[in-house]
Chain A
Amino acid sequence: MISIFQMIVLVFLIFVFTRVVFRFKDRQISILELLFWSALWISAGVLLFMPQITNPIARILNIGRGIDVAVYLGIILLFYLVFRLYVKIDTINQDLTKIVREIAVNKPNKDKRRK
């Protein structure tokens, strides 16, 4: 029997998974990114229906329940992704500044040579 919770999450997972595939087809993401995101969503699906498979890992790590391991890993992963996002935004900001600067420097209001 699958619960309503599992139903909803499953629909969500299928939806985001198709998004990943489409974005790969549109060449908006690389094959590496496709593999990464597919692995992430598929493992989330597996955990959704078989949370007990994480129990052995939990025992090794001394964490109560298997599903807690998944939650902890999820949080760590989220932190990492947010970090990556920050770095990326920083880089984009710097690139943006370069473009704005180039335009400004090449188009002064008053061309000095004419003076």
Chain B
Amino acid sequence: MHKVFIVIPAYKEENSISSVIKGLKKEGYKDIVVVDDCSPDSTSKKAEDAGAIVLKHIINRGQGASLRTGTDYALRHGAEIIVHFDADGQHNPKEIKDIIKPIIAGKADAALGSRFLGKRSNVPFTKKIVLKLGIMFTFIFSGVWLTDTHNGFRALSRDAAKRIEITQDRMAHASEIIDQIRKKRIRYTEVPVTITYTSYSIEKGQSAMNSIRIAARLIWSKYIR
């Protein structure tokens, strides 16, 4: 058996975190690392009670920063495969076995979830447009054509997790990871996954406007700075 760590960045997810952790445990995953990003609510406590390892950021540093914190922790504790998983209940724990399969088989070092491959997700219309624009942006920015570029569900081999250095603390990390996969020639593959949209996740999720900020941020970091 491979040692699989599930890394969950969480911010103000007291309503969903318990059931997400329970769902993961039910699938047999034991090493569950929740990175609580200084949530003002009871996210930490709920995660602890549900039996996760909880790492606490003493100030909010963003989703990208939290993923790296959790990933670093997992690497230090002997993880062989690291899965990035959302705290808002949008990802399906049953699909983890699918997303780690190419890595276990040694076919890839990064397995990226895609909601536009085979399986059907109920993506809202405007979200869909933003995501498609994101795909085109990624093609121009990094020269990689993927079917879904801004999906937080991914699995990395120990080696890939070590090599990918997330420096984008906030939401730009998703593009940054793809950019590094390309630059560092990490073997990748896409895996069909379902992302569930509920009124809860939509309300908490990212706005279309925010994606413009993210694009500007990426261009600044890559070409201007």
Contact = CB atoms under 8 A, between A and B. Distances in A.
Interface of A: 86-87, 90, 93-94, 96-97, 100-101, 103-105, 107-110, 112
A48 B73 CA distance: 59
Interface in B14-72: 35, 44, 48, 53-59, 61, 65, 68-69, 72
B225 A87 contact: yes
A103 B65 CA distance: 13
A87 B44 CA distance: 33
B69 A94 contact: no
Contacts, number: 55
A110 B54 contact: yes
A93 B61 CA distance: 9
Q: Which 9 A-B pairs have the closest CB atoms?
A: A104-B55, A109-B54, A101-B69, A97-B65, A97-B61, A105-B73, A100-B57, A108-B53, A104-B69
B48 A96 contact: no
Interface residues of B, number: 23
A110 B55 CA distance: 9
B72 A105 contact: yes
A26 to B, nearest CB: 28
Given A90-B225, A93-B169, A108 B58 contact: no
18 contacts: A94-B169, A96-B59, A97-B61, A97-B65, A100-B57, A100-B65, A103-B58, A104-B55, A104-B56, A105-B72, A107-B55, A107-B56, A108-B54, A108-B55, A109-B48, A109-B53, A109-B56, A110-B48
